[in-house]
Amino acid sequence: MKKLSLLKLGIFVPVISMCLIFSNVVFAKQFKVYATNGSVGAGFDTGIILEPGQMLVISVDEKDTWGTAGATNKALISNANGLGNSLGHNFGKKYTKSGFSFLFGSLVGSLDGGKTFFLVGSKLEKTILKSGKLSLYHWDSNNTDNSGYLTATIHVKSDCNSNKIAKAYTRTGAGESLVAPFTSPATSTTKSYSGLVEVIVSGTGYSYGMTVNDAFFGVKTGKPLDPQYYQLNIGWNGAPLKPYAEESRNIANYIKFVDGMGKAAVPTYNSNHRYHFVIEVPKDAGRLSFGVSDGGFDENGGQYNIEIHPVKNNVFCNSISEVIINNKAIIKSGDPIVVSYKNLLNRNQHDWIGIYKKGSNNNQFITYQYSAKTSGELSFNSKTLAIGEYELRMLAKNQYSTVKAVSSFKLVAKEDSDSEVIINNKAIIKSGDPIVVSYKNLLNRNQHDWIGIYKKGSNNNQFITYQYSAKTSGELSFNSKTLAIGEYELRMLAKNQYSVVKARSNFKIVNID
């Protein structure tokens, strides 16, 4: 069946331009706001939920008018700026309600159901400081005899490209400060934490002979002393810090965002030794512990001064769990293409998932199914697909303009899959679930070939954990509980060494409620 958009069928559908990561526009939409939706009435509920850090932009054509106190009273016609402007009679006074005063006939907004108000007029740009639902009003003491409507265009933006923590994140509760001396294995918080945590750390000390370092770098060189030891380390309930905790406890493994840099794996060297960043810990992390990874502490000196706060992402920019497509990275020809999905963001009954040849345009789908539920599982037939690389794309509202999520897969011939070196796993794994990895290893197989988990982009010697892949084929299971939320790679390497990578596969660890 050939897919037709509702627009092609001649049905008008208001288009919401919404983007998760690719743009800073969350959506744009037009509304008709009637003058009978007065400040003494219920107002017009836009249904738009706004979050701190978003930018609300509302515009109304200045030639667009509505009437206050009856359609026949032309003296009381005004635009969104209210009576007293060039298009309307000066009514002589402002109307005051709940301590808020504006010209009669003004377009006014509220985020708390009419408890407090702000002037919109014909143009508003407002940074949201507190979450709430947007309602719009015709400002009047009696809305029953009003007439007409204004067309308001509403854009909601979020500064996805901001590199400042204050814009990208919002603190969600009281934090705490603590001191982590180099002379102790760890210092723990008094409060429990989960998910995103803002960290500000300063201070220096020495635990590597008399060489002084800060949380990330040697003071003299501005470079890390050692990839495993002597810098700031982190632990939590179930994964406490201990002497020689090795690289997996290095706090750099858990960094999501660095103030002044944006999304980054580690801060750059700062001569004042103060670093400000956001980390992500498991949902059930509990009390956090901080310290240096050392084996002995008697000859150490110095301390880290640490301030931490629980935070949340501002809106959808940094979210990776609102809309998800999950599937195996490699699929044998003839096997079903099983796709699980989550569709919580602006879900519509005509949202759909299509299969595409990699790099093709959005209107060049091969086949599709609807993804109208909040979550579900779909199965596609691979028999009609040629061997090659493909993408699964979730698109919005029977149209091609808005891509809500993308996931890739490779279709291989059955005979090829038996003769290659392959790592296969789910592309997205819920934090706490096992990381199940199937592999084939027929090419130059060695009993000391191994599969390691890596932070994406790290060097081959910077593995987090590993298991041997010495069989011709098999399945391994890794524990995800010690991994922070983020992007990782599975790599099969040869003969207990780092030089030859035989296969790779990517995956993400996410929090999904």
Domain CATH for 485:
2.60.40.2840
pLDDT of residue 263: 72
Which among 128, 158, 188 is the end of a domain? 158
Give the confidence band of 72 by pLDDT, cuts at 50, 70, 90.
low
- Whole-angstrom distance, CA of residue 58 vs CA of residue 30: 9
**Among residues 156, 150, 154, which one has the least CA distance to residue 32?**
150
Q: Clarify whether residues 255 and 343 are in a common domain.
A: no
292 within a domain of the structure (yes/no): yes
17 within a domain of the structure (yes/no): no
Q: Clarify whether residues 138 and 229 are in a common domain.
A: no
Q: Clarify whether residues 404 and 347 are in a common domain.
A: yes
Give the confidence band of 457 by pLDDT, cuts at 50, 70, 90.
confident
pLDDT of residue 494: 86
Give how far Cα 503 sits from Cα of 438, 439, 450, 475, Å. Answer: 12, 9, 10, 15
Region 196-219 average pLDDT: 90
Region 236-257 average pLDDT: 76
**What is the chain's alpha carbon radius of gyration, rounded to the nearest angstrom?**
28
Domain hosting 398: range is 319-417
HSE of 506 in the Cβ direction (CA atoms, 13 Å)?
A: 11
pLDDT of residue 20: 28
pLDDT of residue 98: 87
> Dihedral of the CA atoms 387, 388, 389, 391 (nearest 10)?
-40
CA 124 to chain centre: 27
Which among 392, 417, 442 is the end of a domain? 417
pLDDT of residue 159: 53
pLDDT of residue 421: 63
Give how far Cα 274 sits from Cα of 162, 252, 257, 264, 469, Å. Answer: 20, 15, 15, 16, 42
